[in-house]
Structure formats: C-alpha cells, structure tokens
Amino acid sequence: MGYYQIPVHKQDIEKTAFVVPCGHYEFLRMPFGLTSAPREFQRCMSDLFAELDFVRIFLDDVLIFSKLTEEHTQHLQIVFDTLTSAGASINFEKSTFYQKQVTYRGNVVS
C-alpha cells in the first residue's frame, strides 16, 4: 500500500493545494512530502494488520513470519486478502516470499 492509496480527508484537501502556470491543483490522495504523511501511512498500515500477530509493519515494509511452510502460505493469503479488501495493491516485483533470512530495518532476521 502506498501513500497514493490513502484518500485525503475532504476537509483537508484544500491544504494540499498548489499552483503552477497551467492551473490550480489539489491532491485527493495523500502525496509524498506532507509532514504528517509517514505517520498517517504507518497508522493506516498498523490498524489494517493490528489483529495479525504474524505481521510486522514499518511503513510499506510488511514482514510476515511463520514456523512452517504451510503456515506461511496461509499467512500470505490472509495478508493478500487483507490488502485486497482495503483496496491496496501489492508490488510483486519488489516482494520476496518464503525466505529463511531477510534484512529488515537494518537487521538480519532468520
């Protein structure tokens, strides 16, 4: 889920306005660069996965951990379903699955 997938609250849209030679524009989706964007994005992601104890979130990094391969397959499906039901997309090109070891937030996790 990226910033652009989170709608800006209706009362806050005018706060995102900018003017360029070809017109006046306002963001309807949360852009990069807003002071509160990372905090709001983290809150949305944390809320989305709050009930899943096998998921850790840091902004758009989603860490899914399991003891068994079969369990991991189930966990992946739950995460995919959760993201899909929230209207979020998954960038499979930037994703890795079924890893025994990953680097997460500068730490090697295995």
CATH of the domain at 37: 3.30.70.270
Domain count, the chain: 1
Using pLDDT thresholds of 50, 70 and 90, give the confidence band for residue 105. Answer: confident
Q: What is the pLDDT of residue 22?
A: 94
Q: Summarize pLDDT for 18-53 with one digit per residue, the tens.
A: 999 999 999 998 888 788 888 888 888 999 999 999
Q: Which of 54, 43, 49 has its CA nearest to residue 86?
A: 49
Mean pLDDT for 92-103 is: 91
Mean pLDDT for 78-82 is: 96
For residue 89, the enclosing domain spans 3-109
Q: What is the pLDDT of residue 14?
A: 94
What's the 3-state SS for the chain?
CCHHHCECCHHHHHHHCEEECCEEECCCECCCCCCCHHHHHHHHHHHHCCCCCCEEEECCEEEECCCCHHHHHHHHHHHHHHHHHCCCCCCHHHCCCCCCCEEECCEEEC
Q: Summarize pLDDT for 2-22 with one digit per residue, the tens.
A: 777 788 889 999 999 999 999
Judge whether residue 1 has pLDDT over 60: no
Mean pLDDT for 63-83 is: 96
